Chains A and B, each alone.
Chain A
Amino acid sequence: MTPADWSPVWISLATSATATLFTLVAGLSAAMWRARRSGPVMALVDGIFLLPLVLPPTDVGCFLLLLFGHNGPVGRILLHFGTTIVFSWPATVIAAAVVAFPLMYLTARAALEQVDPQFLQAARTLGASEWRVFREVALPLAWPGVIAGTILSFARALGEFGATLMLAGNIPGRTATIPIAIYFAVESDDIRTAMAWCLIDVLISLALLGGLYYWTNAQGRGRARLARR
């Protein structure tokens, strides 16, 4: 029952954690940048930001291959420096980060938009720079939403399969995450291994969802108190 090689677990966790970190920074920056703008151009920007959420992951994988492949714009630059991303561990991170990005962006934006603008204005009249307004007022008040977005992104990154397979392939011990290990186990009729990986995925997901539930509940109580002005 025990899989002979535990590497997919570590690869999955390391990939998801790294991807979530990138997503957190990128999603927050995008949300912060977007929060103060409006107009038709922003609707288009929103559409582009949300594409990875609505497109089939294989589409995303295709685009990433076009971008990072040896003939793609980024791929060429990397090749110039004697390296390549495709079919390497960083590729799993890129694929996971891209598909998880919309969830982070959406949740962070919703959380930031919920912050009463009067708090931000008060901070400005008190001499705070825009960066300080964000860091010391907007972000702490939007924190519960940001945490929720982080957990959702992590979960999404953990489940990523299509784009990862196309960009990173299935290299055991390097790019084979749990979902990919499951797929290839089933393909080679190794149902027992596949089931074992599935079970591990279920456990990790339950732990994550439990954490999210606990966190939002705890924050919900704190937030209700905070929201009273």
Chain B
Amino acid sequence: MRRGGDERDWRGADVPLEVQIAKNLPDFSLEVSFSSGDGPLGILGSSGAGKSMLLRCIAGLDRPDRGRIVLNGRALLDTEKRIQLPARERRVGMLFQHYALFPHRTLGENIAFGIGRLSPGEQARRVAGLLQRTHIAGLEHRYPREVSGGEQQRAALARALAIEPEALLLDEPLSALDTHLRSQMEAQLQETFAAYPRPALLVTHNIEEAYRLGEQLLVLSRGRVAAFGPKDELFRAPPTLEVARLTGCKNFSRVRPVSADAVEALDWNCTLRVSHAGQRPPAHAGIRAHHIEIADSSFTTGGEKENVFPCWLARSSETPFRVTLYLLLHRPAGESSGTSGEYSLQAEVSREKWLLFRDKPLPWQVWLSPDSLFLMPD
């Protein structure tokens, strides 16, 4: 028996999850509208952008001021029709950042919490299957405090899946885990998504996590949808400066169009050839740090290349496998009024490559490939 949810909306039936909500928050208002197909959707945004609130509204733990949420043709919320299903009737599985496993129940009892209406035999079968799928078989009699953070997260995932939810919501599922456990849990999530052809919304502020786990990406900024689409597209050509920043792009310059396929980059002091100019007149150009190519003297292969400029090294920052180079275009570091912190471009190269040319004399050459450059209208 469902209250209110019986009303089927066949217009929305072809889209598994349709969300359109507005809620006033202390600092800004959350106004989000999107629809999700089956499969994982990464929700990316800086902290406080409203990501968690969005999930909570879908799960029924918070109440939007107005809006409509339709899951598989079932209205979970429709403020106009005064439909508001309580959380327990939404059949939406939620994975909490800190797992929220019941501390007074064993992992097995936690997983079985939502399926009490099934027969004991059926419950046991389902719990056993979930323990297998989440790779924590044998731990069902342990209490949450007796297992590791990763195992707790797996149990929490199993518990959410036990009710066979029609959608899965994951709130920063990996943020409380250390690096090693995180990659294991990431593999677990990928496995789960593959076996679970339903909408899965994954909130994160980690760009790489969002890219690896989501098929589609929704970028949230101060309560608004800044971008929404297939992840490759969003990363290749971010629609706005903000989305470019949120997806991890480090290099921007104001630009002025000079012809159909060229712009003048004001901050980089050069004219750039571009391959896709976009529809609206561009205001900014951007290029990702790892797309910048560097050579010690000149790019010899393939003849004359476009967008090749001399550059000087301002400073570098090394991590075990990657090196970030802060480069100045056209002039040596420390010349003119330049302070020591000044740089034009931030490039990322592998450590091996860095070792090859770090002792070569300056200036080096930097290549801003027209295919890697993207233009943004704002």
Contact = CB atoms under 8 A, between A and B. Distances in A.
A126 B113 contact: yes
B157 interface: no
A126 B98 contact: no
Contacts of A80: none
Contacts of A221: none
Q: Most chain-A Cβ atoms within 10 A of its Cβ — which of B93, B104, B162? A: B104
A228 B93 CA distance: 24
Q: Most chain-B Cβ atoms within 10 A of its Cβ — which of A118, A122, A226? A: A122
A121 B87 contact: yes
A95 to B, nearest CB: 36
Interface string B157-176: 00110110000000000000
B129 interface: no
Interface residues on B, range: 20 to 34
A121 B156 CA distance: 13
Interface secondary structure of A, over-half rule: helix
A141 interface: yes
A165 B102 CA distance: 47
Contacts of A121: 59, 61, 87, 94, 96, 100
Nearest to B111: A126
A202 to B, nearest CB: 37
B94 A125 contact: yes
Contact of B96 (A118, A141, A228): A118
Q: Most chain-A Cβ atoms within 10 A of its Cβ — which of B86, B89, B99, B103? A: B103
Interface string A119-163: 101111111110000001100110000000000000000000000
B145 A116 contact: no
A36 interface: no
Contact of B88 (A119, A124, A228, A229): A124
A229 B98 contact: yes
A37 interface: no
Interface in B56-90: 59-61, 86-90
A116 to B, nearest CB: 7
Interface in B93-129: 93-94, 96, 98-104, 113-114
A126 B60 contact: no
A126 B114 contact: yes
Interface residues of A, number: 21
A226 B88 contact: no
A118 B104 contact: no
A123 B99 contact: no
A122 B100 contact: yes
Contacts of B90: 125
Contact of A137 (B92, B102, B144, B159): B102
Given A118-B98, A229-B98, A229-B103, A126 B163 contact: yes
A125 B87 contact: yes
Contacts of B162: 126
Contacts of B163: 126-127
A48 B262 CA distance: 77
Interface of A: 116, 118-119, 121-129, 136-137, 140-141, 225-229
Interface of B: 59-61, 86-94, 96, 98-104, 113-114, 144-145, 159-160, 162-163
